[in-house]
Amino acid sequence: MNNQTALKLCTLNTTFYRRHAASFSQTRKAPWKGWQRCLESIADFGELPASLMVFDLACGNLRFEAFLSSALPETALTFYTVDNCAELVAEMAELDPLVPPVLNHRAPAAPVFNHQNLDVLDLVCRGIDVHGYFQAPPCDLAVAFGFLHHVPTAEYREKVLLALVEQARPGGCVMASFWQFAQEKGGAAQALDTHLRALAELELPPLDAGDYLLGWQARAGAYRYCHSFTDAEIDRLVDRLQDTAELVARFKADGRTGALNTYLVLQVH
């Protein structure tokens, strides 16, 4: 895939989420089962500290923040969230200041939010260092859930994951999910028809292996780009990170089969 096509796919996704923020958010209220297993993985390090700084790349409608506030009610949480879709974030919260009421009732204090509207993929596609643009300090926890499948090309996915690792402090943890919808029974066949129709409508060239254009609620012209990961692709990403982070846990969770996503939990050197 050339860079021009990658930019078009990123623009397609930006447009999709801005136009369909309300309907998409309505389907994304419940926490993923894999999140609890991620927390259990880092609990093996010992008791969690009384306060946590959390960096969330592509935070969407803040449901991970809601989950973490509920799962850790006695922890003082400071969130640094990044997304380029204010419409989606606003589904859960009023910006300026970013204080979602649903997260506001937990002891010992309401979470502190710092939100940055940033188009990470536009920077990556233009060859710009992403990490240098984050308005956040090194955090105890850096996460990216439901995002890496929107990053075109293996090269760009590696860059985004490396930037996420750089955003965690030494000794801190990184958590990321990798969607594998094409490995579900009938998943690839179900996606292919829509994908081929979208390629023709959008006048796009054939994409890379594992790349699909998915529809949304049978709405005409509502397409988003998604990549379905193979286990081998995830293996290569783990190998690429071995000099900067140690793999703590790797498991599958979510969906009807309990294997829709693969999760990585890493501890930064």
pLDDT digits (tens, 9 = 90+) for 98-116: 444 445 444 556 788 899 9
Residue 44: the pLDDT is 72
Query: Which amino acid, residue 261?
Result: N
Residue 34: the pLDDT is 97
Residue 28: the pLDDT is 86
Mean pLDDT computed over 112-124: 93
Residue 140: the pLDDT is 95
Ordered by start, the domain boundaries in the chain are 3-28+50-140+148-173+184-268
Q: How many residues would you count in the chain?
A: 269
Angle at which helices 154-166 and 231-240 cross, to 10°: 50
> Which percentage of the chain shows pLDDT scores above 70?
92
Rounded CA-CA distance 146/83 in Å is: 12
The mean pLDDT of the chain is 90
Burial of 205 per CB tally in 10 Å (0-12, 13-18, 19+): exposed
Residue 116: the pLDDT is 94
Higher pLDDT, 232 or 90: 232
For 163-211, write each residue's pLDDT tens digit: 999 999 999 999 999 999 999 888 788 899 999 999 999 999 999 999 9
Residue 218: the pLDDT is 85
Enumerate residues 6+ apart whose C-beta is below 8 A from 119. Answer: 10, 14, 84
pLDDT at 46 over 80: no
Name the CATH architecture for the domain at 3-28+50-140+148-173+184-268: 3-Layer(aba) Sandwich (3.40)
Query: Which amino acid, residue 166?
Result: E
For 150-165, write each residue's pLDDT tens digit: 999 999 999 999 999 9
Higher pLDDT, 41 or 90: 41
Residue 108: the pLDDT is 57
Residue 77 binned pLDDT confidence (cut-offs 50, 70, 90): very high
Residue 37: the pLDDT is 95
Mean pLDDT computed over 66-88: 91
Mean pLDDT computed over 21-37: 90
Rounded CA-CA distance 149/234 in Å is: 12
Rounded CA-CA distance 215/197 in Å is: 10
